[in-house]
Amino acid sequence: MLDRQDRIEKTLNAVLPAPELAPTRLHAAMRYAVLGGGKRVRPLLAYGAGELSGADARRVDRAAAAVEMIHAYSLVHDDLPCMDDDVLRRGKPTVHLAFDEATALLVGDSLQSLAFQVISEKSMDDDAQRQVEMIELLANACGSRGMAGGQAIDLEATGKTLAVTELEFMHVHKTGALIRASVVLGARCGDALSHAQFNELDRFGKFIGLAFQVVDDVLDAQSSTATLGKTAGKDAKNNKPTYVSALGLDGARKFAAELRDDALRALDALPRNGGRLRQLAEFIVLRRF
């Protein structure tokens, strides 16, 4: 994990515009938003899947950087006063406080564009058709039928009670779609998997993406701001429907473990029983931050 976290940090550092490049304030804010923080779960998943499909790690670097920049953009926008209005992210003041609101908006916009630029570059793939499919996959995962759509549902759901199926629909899109895409994009960087194995990997991504959000709900309810590096207890304070409000703390923990088991079963068909993805599934469910 440490090796891969170091690798993605270096890749992100290299693909982000240098801070002395104009417009310097925007570039400094983009680097502030992305570098030196976060667990890098999505890149780790991409690397884990890439190892299974025999991918060249330099290709996976680009896929991993793209998903992490999309993720960082979503956090910056989510923290804005017009959305979750938060002051702390990854243990630091949120981008709109460290810089200003307009800059935070542009940071998100620019990170999203840069993500697509990074996976569109020629060095990413020698198979143009496959590369276009990867770009399409990422676009679907973060657009209105993916992450942004899930966020829209989340904003509408504030103050409402949702049935577990509605909650699942929201989170499969808001959080799950990008996590699933991280797994699939990592795998698409190589070609050693059969069609059936690839489908199982996709199922793994779906289950572990939802498990990630269930655990996020549990941590928000039971952990501290200092441990999380972001404001804890916000869901209850903002009257948001969560897996904890729907199932209770124990019920949510149990559900996360079930999803982890489903995810692990999907890995049975893969080389080395899923290798590092097995460990990552455990990490996602057992993490404390």
Which stretches of the chain bind ligand GRG, using CB under 6 A?
A: 38-39, 41, 71, 74-75, 77-78, 90, 147-148, 151, 174-175, 213, 216
DSSP string, 164-180: HHHHHHHHIIIIIHHHH
d(CA 60, CA 274): 17
Rounded least distance, CB 148 to ligand GRG, Å:
4
Residue with smaller CB distance to ligand GRG, 250 or 289: 289
According to DSSP, residue 18 is labeled P
Residue with smaller CB distance to ligand GRG, 78 or 168: 78
What does residue 203 show for φ and ψ, rounded to 5 degrees?
Answer: -65, -40
Residue with smaller CB distance to ligand GRG, 49 or 75: 75
d(CA 151, CA 37): 22
Residue with smaller CB distance to ligand GRG, 70 or 201: 70
Q: Which among 138, 120, 14 is positioned nearest to 67, based on CA atoms? A: 138
Rounded least distance, CB 127 to ligand GRG, Å:
30
Rounded least distance, CB 5 to ligand GRG, Å:
11
Q: Which residue is nearest to ligand GRG (CB)?
A: 38
Q: Which among 1, 2, 3, 29 is positioned nearest to 16, based on CA atoms? A: 29
Residue with smaller CB distance to ligand GRG, 61 or 86: 86
Residue with smaller CB distance to ligand GRG, 103 or 131: 103
d(CA 275, CA 63): 19
Beta strands in 213-284 (DSSP E): none
Rounded least distance, CB 198 to ligand GRG, Å:
24
CA-CA distances (angstroms) from residue 163 to 123, 140, 243, 245? 46, 25, 10, 10
Three-state DSSP class for 131? helix
Rounded least distance, CB 99 to ligand GRG, Å:
17
Rounded least distance, CB 254 to ligand GRG, Å:
20
Rounded least distance, CB 207 to ligand GRG, Å:
16
Token pair for residue 115?
């993500």
Residue with smaller CB distance to ligand GRG, 34 or 270: 34
Amino acid at 262: D
d(CA 187, CA 216): 25
